[in-house]
Structure 1
Amino acid sequence: MFQTELIEKCKQNNRKAQLQLYNCYCDGMYVVAHKFLGNTMEAEDVVQEAFINAFVKLHQYQGEVTFGAWLKRIVINKSIDVLKSKKHYWQDLEEAHLKVVEPVDEEWLIEDTITIEKVKQAIDQLPEKYRLVVVLYLIEGYDHQEIAEILNISEVASRTQLSRAKLKLQESLIPLSNAKER
């Protein structure tokens, strides 16, 4: 009930309510933007722009999803816009040329000796198109249909890119695992 009242006050341009809502979500939205951009200043800018957009378009928020989920979608879209503006365009692939590769081991286990930090570093080293799908699917929890809409790719491309990203991650983590055994 509290959040609903806060959002209603924000819709009436109540600055104190807007600041309160901003303070509730700014840190979490910064983390989301930083996952995509990897740059502190750009992530901060995206969060600011996302909140400005959210407050301007707050009348469009109908409460069908949580406010946090609605705002996160804005942050993700803004982050992708920044990447695109830096000339990081997606290569359009014909669906006929794509083949979904099913992983052999669906559980996709890695050695206990590999730290979470090493996994994060490996994700950061992925090609951008793979990294974005991994972050959206494995970390943010979006399904392939949502990823396809967000990234403007097909669901087949989303599945394929996730599968290929997993293989690349495994390949990059295997040497780390073998190095620990020596």
Structure 2
Amino acid sequence: MKGLSMAIPLDATLKTLDLADEEVRTKVIEKFIDEHGQRLFNLIYWKTGNYEDAKDLTAEVIFKIYKALPKFRGDANLYTWAYRIAINHVNRFLLKRSLLKFVSFEDMKREPECLDARQDTDDSGLSEAVRQAVSKLPQKYRDVVVLFYFENCKYEEIAQILGISVGTVKSRLNRARSKLSKLLEGVIK
């Protein structure tokens, strides 16, 4: 595909491409999936707590990103822009299911095969306790915790993804840490 080398970072080439061209969009999406597909799935899985829902929603989000690519202006990097689409889509899904306040971890018994080394811990009880504690956080705190600790996003990226200020990100992260400390009081010694 002319104009899109797999060796060049995706964001570096986007402004020079005709994103209205379906063939170009297809190549961009393929490269996006290679670079960010796993992180996108993990984010959705953490927000929904359900493996099957996360698979379905990831496919829906990728299709939404594909359709929206011609509108991409390049104000943010593609990853940040796409994650904003993902969070909005998942939040709408959760609202429809009346799960916005808390995620049910009954459905998280089955671990996805594709979650990375963060899952490979000897202390699975602690890992499960942390997951359950995160699930009990209000949505606005859970979002920043998942993006910061599990997706390794920087404050600025989180602010762009969630459409809030960096100060608000830091404030929510501090409040989330405080709430998590209380929730994990008896678990972590």
Cα distance, 1:167 vs structure 2:
2.0
Which residue in the other structure is 2:142 paired with? 131
Cα distance, 1:83 vs structure 2:
1.3
Cα distance, 1:31 vs structure 2:
0.9
For residues 34-66 of structure 1, what are the alpha-carbon distances to aligned partners after superposition, in whole Å with 9 as ceiling and x for unaligned? 111111122122221212111112111123332
Pairing partner for 1:17 from 19, 27, 32: 27
Query: What RMSD in Å do the two structures reach over aligned CA positions?
Result: 3.6
For structure 2, list consecutive stretches of 5 or more residues without a partner in the other structure: 102-122
Following the alignment from structure 1 to structure 2, what is the Cα–Cα distance between the partners of residues 125 and 133?
14
Corresponding position: 1:39 with 2:53: no
Q: Is the 8 A contact 1:54 1:74 kept in 2?
A: yes
Which residue in the other structure is 1:110 paired with? none
Cα distance, 1:164 vs structure 2:
3.6
Which amino acid in the other structure matches residue 67 of structure 1? L
Aligned residues: 151
Larger mean Cα displacement after TM superposition, 168-177 or 8-17:
8-17
Which residue in the other structure is 2:68 paired with? 57
CA distance 1:114–1:58, change in 2 (3 Å) = closer
For residues 41-99 of structure 1, what are the alpha-carbon distances to aligned partners after superposition, in whole Å with 9 as ceiling and x for unaligned? 22122221212111112111123332222211111111111111122467xxxxxxxxx
Runs of 4+ in structure 1 over 6 Å off: 113-116
- Aligned-partner SS, 1:175: coil
For residues 92-150 of structure 1, what are the alpha-carbon distances to aligned partners after superposition, in whole Å with 9 as ceiling and x for unaligned? xxxxxxxxxxxxxxxxxxxxx99872434422333444323432455443458547636
Cα distance, 1:30 vs structure 2:
0.6
TM-score, reference length from structure 2? 0.60
Cα distance, 1:170 vs structure 2:
0.8
Following the alignment from structure 1 to structure 2, what is the Cα–Cα distance between the partners of residues 16 and 132?
29
Identity of aligned residues (%): 24
Point out the structure with max Rg over C-alpha. 1
Pairing partner for 2:180 from 165, 169, 172: 169
Which residue in the other structure is 2:154 paired with? 141
Which residue in the other structure is 2:114 paired with? none
- Aligned-partner SS, 1:77: helix
Which amino acid in the other structure matches residue 72 of structure 1? Y
TM-score, reference length from structure 1? 0.62
Q: Is the 8 A contact 2:155 2:170 kept in 1?
A: no
Q: Is the 8 A contact 1:114 1:176 kept in 2?
A: no
Following the alignment from structure 2 to structure 1, what is the Cα–Cα distance between the partners of residues 161 and 89?
15
Which residue in the other structure is 2:80 paired with? 69
